[in-house]
Amino acid sequence: MSKPVVAVPADTKTFGEIVWHAAQQQYVGAALDVAGVMSFIIPAFPEGNDIDAILDRVDGLLVTGAISNVAPALYGKTAEDKDGPFDPGRDANTLPLIRGAVERGLPLLAICRGIQELNVALGGTLVSEVHEVDGRMDHREPDDGNRDEKFVIRQSVRIAEGSCLAGVIGAGNIKVNSLHRQAISDLAPSLAVEAVAPDGTVEAVSVIGAKSFAVGVQWHPEYWAKSDTPSRKIFEAFGAAVREYQAAQKG
């Protein structure tokens, strides 16, 4: 059987006068080397992509993190200048791809911005600056240090007993690298909380009654997927679900 393929929605990046549609190395690298799946990067066109045609041709969906934030208008709020940057092309693709994947039972792993998109796609809302909420930690990326130092595993989260992630990496406290400004506010009705930070911030969710692996995490398992056991196990579980889906589709 050929190696399975997952869709990875692109971000838009402008270099000089040229717009690029891109995905970060850490995500597609972890997908290939740890999950054992190939990636098809989906251009972030605001319109014109055929969502069903994309999902017909892949065995899973990997929704990555990004520098941009989900546009507040998509969850019923008014955007302020501080809420950006935004990526309308990405938003236009990720939300319908997520809904389509959930409906079809396509394996889904949503990371950082991805968990926020998962929540919005299914009817939830976000808080734009979680560090400004009373009693919450500052979850933002540190200003100092190189990239490895910024993404070091330092924050504790608690995995819920009986959750999907508990079946993958065990219940209880683990250390993660959670770096974000936005966070889940109102949880979508069809999502269950899988993990929380010490300050109560939702750090992982799963789709209730999902036909396959369908998990979102606020942290970055892609970054240390080769060396950190919980990160590796998340990508391995996603890869196993993708292969199972591919086998079922091929009969």
| DSSP tag of 77 | -
Confirm whether 21 is a catalytic residue.
Answer: no
Q: Report the C-alpha gap between 183 and 225 in whole angstroms.
A: 23
Asked if omega into 4 is within 30° of 0 (cis), the reply is no
Q: Are 216 and 115 in contact (CB under 8 A)?
A: yes
DSSP state of 3: P
**Residues for the chain: how many in total?**
251
Active site residue 164: no
Alpha carbon distance 45, 48 (integer Å):
7
112 tagged catalytic: yes
Point out the catalytic residue in the list 117, 194, 203, 222.
222
Which of 131, 139, 220, 236 is flagged as catalytic?
A: 220
Inter-residue contact 115 to 217 (CB < 8 Å): yes
What does the DSSP 8-state code read for residue 132?
A: G
Distance of CA 137 to the CA centre of its chain: 21
Catalytic residue among 112, 139, 194, 203: 112
Catalytic residues: 112, 220, 222
